[in-house]
Structure 1
Amino acid sequence: MADQDSVNPAGLNPEQIREAIVSGDPARALPALVGLRRLEAEQAVPLLLLGLEQEQFIARSISCAGLGVKRNEAGWQALTTALSADEDANVRAEAANALASYGVERAWPLLRQSFVADDQWLVRCSILSALAEQAEIEPGVLLELAQMAIADTDGSVRVGGTEILGRIVRDAGANSEQTEISEAARQGLIGLQQDPDHRVVAAVLNGLQG
Structure 2
Amino acid sequence: MASSTPEQTAPNPEELRVAIASGDPVQAMPALAKLRALPDSDNDSVVIPLLILGSEQQAFLVRSLSCSGLGYRRNEQGWEVLTRLVSTDEDPNVRAEAANALASYGVERSWPLLRDSFAKDGAWLVRCSILSALAEQPGINPSWLLDLGRQAIADADGTVRVSGAEILARVVREQGGDAHGSEARGLLQPLQQDADHRVVAAALNGLQP
Is TM > 0.5 for Structure 1 vs Structure 2?
yes
- Match of residue 22 from structure 2: 23
Q: Aligned partners of 2:161 and 2:9: how far apart in 1?
A: 44
1:127-156 deviations in whole A, cap 9, x for unaligned? 000011221311111111111111111111
What letter matches 1:193 in structure 2? Q
- Match of residue 200 from structure 1: 199
Overall identity of the aligned pairs, in %: 61
Q: In the alignment, which of 116, 128, 131 is matched to residue 131 of structure 2?
A: 128
Q: Aligned partners of 2:169 and 2:93: how far apart in 1?
A: 27
- Match of residue 156 from structure 2: 153
Closer, same or farther: CA 134–124 of 1 in aligned 2, 3 Å: same
Q: Which TM-score applies when normalising by structure 1?
A: 0.91
Alpha-carbon RMSD? 1.8
User: Equivalences for 1:52-131 in 2 at 5 Å?
Assistant: 52-131=55-134
Q: Which TM-score applies when normalising by structure 2?
A: 0.91
CA contact (8 A) 1:146 1:162 kept: yes
Q: Aligned partners of 1:76 and 1:108: how far apart in 2?
A: 13
- Match of residue 51 from structure 1: 54
How many residues were matched structurally? 202
User: Equivalences for 1:28-39 in 2 at 5 Å?
Assistant: 28-39=27-38
Identify the range of structure 1 (83-92 vs 31-40) with the bigger mean alpha-carbon deviation.
31-40
Partner of 2:146: helix, strand, or coil? helix
CA contact (8 A) 1:6 1:38 kept: no
1:93-120 deviations in whole A, cap 9, x for unaligned? 0000000011111101011111111100
Q: Aligned partners of 2:8 and 2:143: how far apart in 1?
A: 43
Q: Aligned partners of 1:95 and 1:161: how far apart in 2?
A: 20
User: Unaligned 5+ residue runs, structure 2?
Assistant: none
User: Unaligned 5+ residue runs, structure 1?
Assistant: none
